Structure 1
Amino acid sequence: MSSPQEWYNSLPPITKGYGTLCLLFTTAYQLGVLNHYYIALLYGKVFKNFEVWRLFTNFFFLGGFSINFGIRLLMIARYGVQLEQGPFQRRTADFLWMMIFGALSLLALYAIPFFELHFGGISLVFMLLYVWSREFPTANINLYGLVTLKAFYLPWAMLALDVIFGSPILPDLLGIVAGHLYYFLTVLHPLAGGKMILKTPAWVRKIVARWRIGAPAPTRPVAGAGSRAAPAQPERDTGVFRGRAYRLSD
């Protein structure tokens, strides 16, 4: 068994970076070093006082230390890693763009006055979970040792658990909306014969190349989220179970 440091070093860069920032911000809040008010998404502060950092920092806060915080962090560590090392393997720029697009979508949704939400971390994690569930729809998931279900239904099962435990479900729902929007634009619409309208911008690729983040991109397209390349194996699933075949590591 590898040491914690070896496990941490083995994580793919984007997932490792996002999970680390979430842990650091939450730890600083828990120790009293950071007042979460100063990182909250308050559009009045952003536009009137030019506190633009709030557009970014709100996504790094998952609440105080609790069981829910641990679950969200584990979701990043498991599903983010499987996405970045599976469908997005050697496509770091595309994975980074997925996260950026999800954040931008959530910023637009959070701007609706009716919602009155100020932290997007949970929503972004649910966006990540939803995309994972569409990429690995037929994987079997054992939920807390109580029930086994297909991965396609996992976001909805986690949302139902939040209802049972009295947690707000609006952040979960908005994360699912953002995830479906990304998956529709990059996978479902192109597979239906539509034009790819959500390509990874050149500036994102330049950032990844400039800072040498992740492994170099392949010379030929790889099938996966955001790619119109054909699956390596023909799909046999019908109905709701649509996606590509990827082997999950134990």
Structure 2
Amino acid sequence: MSSPAEFYNSLPPISKAYGTMCLLATTAFQLGLYDPGLIALDYELVFKHFQVWRLFTNFFFLGNFSINFGIRLLMIARYGVQLENGPFQRRTADFLWMMIFGALTLLVLSAIPIFSFSVLGISLVFMLLYVWSREFPNAQINIYGLVTLKAFYLPWAMLALDVIFGSPLVPDLLGILAGHLYYFLTVLHPLAGGKNILRTPFWVQRIVSRWRIGAPPIQRAVPDDRRTSGAFRGRSYRLND
């Protein structure tokens, strides 16, 4: 069995970086090193007082040390890592772009009064969970040893559990909305004959290449039956390769 250090070093770069930042943010909060209000999303402070860091820092806070925090961190370690090592293998730029697009979508959604929320880290994690559930829809998931269900339904099951245990509904729902928008634009719409309008921007590819993040990409052959593969079954390729 590998040591914790070996396991950590084996993690793909984007999931590892995001999970580490979330862990550090919560640890610093528990140590009393900062007030969460300093990193929370507040559009009035962003635009009137130019506190632009709030547009970024709010995504790294998953709450204080608790069972819920542990679950969110495990979601990154499991579902984010499986995505990055699976459908996004050797496609670090595409995975980074998915995270950036998700964050931008959540920022726009949170500007709507009924969806307003000051920290969006949980929402971004839930977006990862939703995209994973669409990529691996038939995987069997056991929830707390009580219920086994297909991964396709996992985001809704987790949302229901959060409601039962009194957690806010809005962050989970925002993550589902952002995840579905991404999946629709990159998979469902192109499979239906539409144009893929969400290709990874060149500047994201340059960042990954410049800083040598992840393994270099490889060319993949696109299956001839790509138009007939069902969206519910997930996929083993991406349309913007």
State the alpha-carbon separation in 2 of the partners of residues 198 and 116 from structure 1: 25
Number of residues of Structure 1 aligned to a counterpart in Structure 2: 237
| Deviation per residue, 1:20-66 (Å, 9 max, x gap) | 00000011111101110000000011001111110000000000010
Identical aligned residues as a percent: 76
Task: Find the aligned partners of 1:36 and 1:14 in 2 and give their Cα distance.
Answer: 24
The change in CA–CA distance for 1:91 and 1:43 in structure 2 (over 3 A counts) is same
Q: CA 1:125–1:168 in structure 2 vs 1: closer, same or farther (change >3 Å)?
A: same
- Rounded to whole Å, the distance in 2 between the matches of 1:81 and 1:105 is 22
Partner of 1:26: 26
Q: Map residues 92-241 of structure 1 onto 2, 5 A cutoff.
A: 92-218=92-218, 220-221=219-220, 229-230=222-223, 241=232
Gaps of 5+ in 2: none
2:115–2:174 CA contact under 8 A, matched in 1: no
Contact persistence 1:83–1:132 (CA under 8 A): yes
Contact 2:45 2:51 survives alignment (8 Å): yes
State the distance in 2 between where 1:102 and 1:149 align.
Answer: 26
For the residues of structure 2 that align with 1:163 and 1:178, how far apart are their CA atoms? 19
Once the two structures are superposed, the pairs formed by residues 4-19 of structure 1 within 5 Å of their partners are: 4-19=4-19
Corresponding letter in the other structure for 1:105: T
Extract unaligned runs of 5+ from structure 1: 223-228
Q: State the distance in 2 between where 1:67 and 1:231 align.
A: 46
Moved over 4 A (4+): 231-236
1:244 Cα deviation (Å)?
Answer: 2.1
Q: How does 1:30-45 map to 2 (within 5 A)?
A: 30-45=30-45
Mapped to 2, the partners of 1:153 and 1:210 lie a distance apart of 38
Q: Give SS of 1:244's match.
A: coil
CA distance in 2, matches of 1:144, 1:232: 38
* TM-score normalised by structure 2 residue count: 0.94
RMSD of equivalent CA atoms: 1.8
Give yes or no for contact 1:39–1:54 (8 Å, CA) kept in 2.
yes
Give the secondary-structure state (helix, strand or coil) at the position aligned to 1:172.
helix
For residue 114 of structure 1, report the CA deviation from its aligned partner: 2.8
Aligned to 1:89: 89
